[in-house]
């Protein structure tokens, strides 16, 4: 049977993609960020850790979905998805190759499990989907595994509640486990962490909130999932609401997880960046060494 | 009848709370309706041919998009705060600043009243503290 073996969280900001494209990923500003991701990249390429399929949870940033259609939870069921032109030409990265059999299986299972999914075939994917792939896999000619794009609306209010996202993750887990083929499946939650991109309060960063969020996500996601939207907005900035998507990833890993690696960095452009590598406790491998890395301005007393 | 939810969110309270956050406009249905055409105009800039037309003559291009005068004025002035006041959403408007060759950081910084340099320095120094900008009423 298929199994969700791993959860990864990642930032998906366009500036990371731009740093790769312009060859500045090793400069003074971006170097520490890419260095912080390196252990995840080494891990995933090594020791049998490469997934067969990633269910990649992200939000579409007014790209495939405009004001015409605003699906709360959707799933891409096509054979492939091309990178979108978001105003500066498409990102020069490989097409995302889907897994229609598993995607349709998950879609059907979720609907039977009371999550009334929106199903997409013809859909372009934006930086929300492709930047995490670049951060974890680097710049290969083809992505090394299949990817099921799973867009969540966090742009037009109201987005789904944390509790709903957490429950959805649990349903994704059950759906994957009822797929007959033997597949190593990852669920990735992307976006965040604290950031605000608009208005006089733009530039907000809340390290305390973020570190607490990471801790609760690992150890007490149930309580975390009950946090109301207003708290995300006040504490983590208007765009920090993307963090509800991390709860989908967490819900898909079951009750207890082991944190193999945590990376936290301030700032990546307008944002605080968090990248986590988690596995269900019963099948977890050894944590990486070092297990926790903070860099940039986040270096001050953190633990 | 399905089982009744134990606790329902009061939608009026839910929405009203958003106005209590300083310097922030949450993209509610009300804003989405007001900004419908502004946001759809911005989306049109995802096509290279449209970007070319827009670059040739900003004002002429805007004529096709059913915008209010305030929206047109805000776009022509690249006043992102004003665009958001008129119902724009930053992810939609990103198509406009991307077409202008601007980064998210520059556009976001332009809404704070700081210079580009000051804003970049604030971010490197750890960003804007949430202290005092969480709630207008509460002042915390
Ligand atoms: Fe995002």
Domains and CATH numbers, chain B: 27-100 (1.10.700.10)
Which residue from A65, A236, A84, A235 is spatially nearest to A156, judged by alpha carbons? Answer: A65
Separation in Å, CA A289 to CA A50, A193, A218, A263, A273: 19, 23, 18, 12, 20
CA distance A2 to A8: 18
Stated pTM of the model? 0.96
Q: What is the CA radius of gyration of chain B?
A: 18
Q: What is the pLDDT of residue A302?
A: 38
| Residues B41-87: tens digit of each pLDDT | 999 999 999 999 999 999 999 999 999 999 999 999 999 999 999 99
- Return all residues near A69 (Cβ < 8 A) that are at least 6 apart: none
Residue in A with minimal Cα distance to B18: A230
By CB atoms closer than 10 A (0-12, 13-18, 19+), residue B83 is buried
Q: What is the pLDDT of residue A218?
A: 98
Average pLDDT over residues A150-172: 98
Asked if the model's pLDDT at residue A256 lies above 70, the reply is: yes
DSSP state of B57: -
Q: How high does pLDDT run on average in chain B?
A: 94
The residue with tokens 């609760």 is A216
Among candidate residues A127, A186, A265, A294, the one labeled active-site is A127
- A294 is a catalytic site residue: no
Whether A40 and A277 have beta carbons less than 8 Å apart is answered as yes
Asked if the model's pLDDT at residue A18 lies above 50, the reply is: yes
| Residues B82-131: tens digit of each pLDDT | 999 999 999 999 999 999 999 889 999 999 999 999 999 999 999 999 99
Interface mutation target, options A11, A87, A271, A273, chain B, most CBs of B under 10 Å? A87
- Return all residues near A5 (Cβ < 8 A) that are at least 6 apart: A51, A184, A185, A186, A279, A280, A283
Q: What is the CA radius of gyration of chain A?
A: 17
| Residues A56-77: tens digit of each pLDDT | 999 999 999 999 999 999 999 9
Asked if the model's pLDDT at residue A301 lies above 50, the reply is: no
In angstroms, what separates the C-alpha of A118 from chain B's closest C-alpha?
20
CA distance A159 to A148: 21
Q: Residues within 5 Å of ion ligand 1 by Cβ?
A: A 191
| Residue B6: band (very low, low, confident or very high) from pLDDT cuts 50, 70, 90 | confident
The sign of the dihedral angle between the CA atoms of A103, A11, A240, A303 is: positive
Which residue from A156, A74, A88, A172 is spatially nearest to A127, judged by alpha carbons? Answer: A88
Whether A78 and A100 have beta carbons less than 8 Å apart is answered as yes
Asked if the model's pLDDT at residue B1 lies above 80, the reply is: no
Decide if B32 touches A, using CB distance below 8 A.
yes
With CB atoms and an 8 Å threshold, state whether A266 touches B127.
yes
Model-level ipTM above the cut of 0.90: yes
| Residue A244: band (very low, low, confident or very high) from pLDDT cuts 50, 70, 90 | very high
For chain A, what percent of residues have pLDDT higher than 90?
94
Among candidate residues A61, A99, A186, A195, the one labeled active-site is A195
Average pLDDT over residues A74-90: 93
- A105 is a catalytic site residue: no
With CB atoms and an 8 Å threshold, state whether B94 touches A201.
no
Reading the block at residue A106, the tokens are 């998950």
Residue in A with minimal Cα distance to B136: A234
Structure-derived torsion over alpha carbons of residues A161, A163, A166, A168, reported in degrees to the nearest 10: -70
CA distance A266 to A39: 18
């Amino acid at each position: 049977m298929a199994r969700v073996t791993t959860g990864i969280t990642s930032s998906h900001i366009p500036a990371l993609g731009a740093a790769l494209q312009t060859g500045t990923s090793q400069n003074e500003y971006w170097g520490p960020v890419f260095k912080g991701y390196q252990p995840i990249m080494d891990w995933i390429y090594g020791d049998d850790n490469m997934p067969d399929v990633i269910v990649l949870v992200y939000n579409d940033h007014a790209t495939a979905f405009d004001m015409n259609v605003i699906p709360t939870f959707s799933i891409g069921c096509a054979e492939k998805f091309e990178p979108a032109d978001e105003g500066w030409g498409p990102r020069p990265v490989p097409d995302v190759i889907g897994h229609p059999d598993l995607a349709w299986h998950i879609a059907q299972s979720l609907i039977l499990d009371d999550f009334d999914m929106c199903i997409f075939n013809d859909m372009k994917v934006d930086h929300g989907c492709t930047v995490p792939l670049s951060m974890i896999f680097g710049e290969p000619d083809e992505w090394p595994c299949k990817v099921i794009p799973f867009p969540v609306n966090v742009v037009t209010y109201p987005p789904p509640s944390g509790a709903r996202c957490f429950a959805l993750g649990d349903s994704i887990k059950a759906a994957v486990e009822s797929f007959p083929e033997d597949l190593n499946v990852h669920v990735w939650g992307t976006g965040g962490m604290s950031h605000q991109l608009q208005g006089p309060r733009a530039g907000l960063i809340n390290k305390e909130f973020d570190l607490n969020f990471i801790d609760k996500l690992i150890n007490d996601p149930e309580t975390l999932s009950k946090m109301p939207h207003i708290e995300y907005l006040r504490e983590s900035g208007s765009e920090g609401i993307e963090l509800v998507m991390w709860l989908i990833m967490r819900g898909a890993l079951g009750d207890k997880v082991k944190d193999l690696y945590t990376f936290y960095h301030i700032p990546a452009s307008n944002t605080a960046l968090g990248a986590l590598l988690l596995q269900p406790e019963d099948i977890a491998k050894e944590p990486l060494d070092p297990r926790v890395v903070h860099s940039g301005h986040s270096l001050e007393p953190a633990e | 009848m399905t089982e009744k939810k134990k606790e329902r969110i009061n939608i009026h309270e839910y929405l009203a709370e958003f106005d209590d956050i300083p310097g922030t406009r949450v993209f509610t249905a009300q804003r989405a309706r007001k900004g419908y055409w502004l946001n759809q105009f911005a989306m049109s800039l995802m096509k290279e041919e449209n970007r070319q037309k827009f670059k040739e003559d900003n004002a002429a291009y805007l004529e096709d998009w059913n915008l209010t005068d305030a929206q047109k004025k805000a776009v022509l002035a690249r006043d992102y705060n004003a665009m958001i006041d008129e119902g724009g959403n930053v992810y939609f408007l990103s198509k406009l600043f991307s077409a202008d060759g601007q980064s998210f950081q520059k556009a976001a910084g332009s809404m704070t009243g700081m210079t580009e340099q000051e804003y970049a320095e604030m971010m490197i120094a750890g960003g804007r503290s949430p202290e005092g900008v969480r709630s207008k009423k509460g002042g915390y």
